Structure 1
């Protein structure tokens, strides 16, 4: 079994580890590096079989698969530190929306065994949608091995690298556009007298059914939105649309830049 090192022990690492754990994967071949004692303590409490390190960077960076679970602003520094510890046959897996494979390779001094994955939070319950792109140096058998690992987390479509920024805005950040609304509906339903189990069932079915109707019914968007005559949030729709267009387009342009 390939060994795995995580550089960064924050949210995305815990999401992936939970997904792996749910599928019964052994985690004792994994190492997590982080400079935050609090982050490592959470990892140790939740995944006691995983080795954690805070001052031995090379242990995590010299594994067979090295996941870079850090934010873009510090990625260049992390890559520079990682460079000296990589084995020739290691695979570097970036979980950040930037930089691109070519830029990562350049910072790594020409090391080109690189994969980019855009992680999706529902991977925590193995319902993720995690688009992936591979450098040409990753051969077909290696791709299969990597995809077998990723597919435990949900769907893992292989996509053109130039589309990853779009997926970052739509699928990686996407749940945040809706979760606070789900929470408000839940609280409202509770105030209306529904029990928690009733709310979980009805809201899950409603959200799932609404999405399937919109994307799978073969009706046009206008026809779907006309199915229900009463629209309590109609006055706020333009404000929400403007926020989507302005904020998300800006984020996308920043990622592409």
Structure 2
């Protein structure tokens, strides 16, 4: 795995999962975003940064297999200052770096906290993966899974750990539903059956405030985190 910056302190991950920093302050809330290729994860990260950057101190870590394309897109879009966006090249299936061997992502997170902190929120975007992609709880505190209506309105019914267990399921690109024959009511009903009480947000990021349901959920998680409970 490769970072886009030098690895200088390879053994400092020991307490990464701990919610409190050594000085007693609450560390940044870490939220993972996963989902299939093309579902809109990077667009969601960009929209969240734009919606929240004026009131929160935010950083982002992206994961791609052999490139840094998602990080470069976020930098070109100037959603955050470039030093707040780090890239990890996984070199293998994206889930390996967010669930199996999380060391490169932890290194990136801790470098960001050390260089641009203190931070309120760190967004970690997985590379595009299948419906089984989940994050290690040693890496993130809560996780979002993004799917899109263009992939078919049967996706929530197909399930998989990403859909059924993520703390928030985002059904993106709702503006395309009439053009691809997707029934949003069916998707909502299937998602509820598979997820129970876990929340679902329907989004269209082509709309000016389309990220609002997700941004509101994130700020709610941060409020809970600051109060002393994991989101």
TM-score for the superposition, normalised by structure 1: 0.35
Question: Could you say which structure has the higher strand fraction?
Answer: 2
TM-score between the two structures when normalised by the length of structure 2 = 0.38
Rg larger in structure: 1
Highest relative contact order (Cα 8 Å, sep 6+), 1 or 2?
2
Write 1 or 2 for the structure with the bigger share of helix: 1
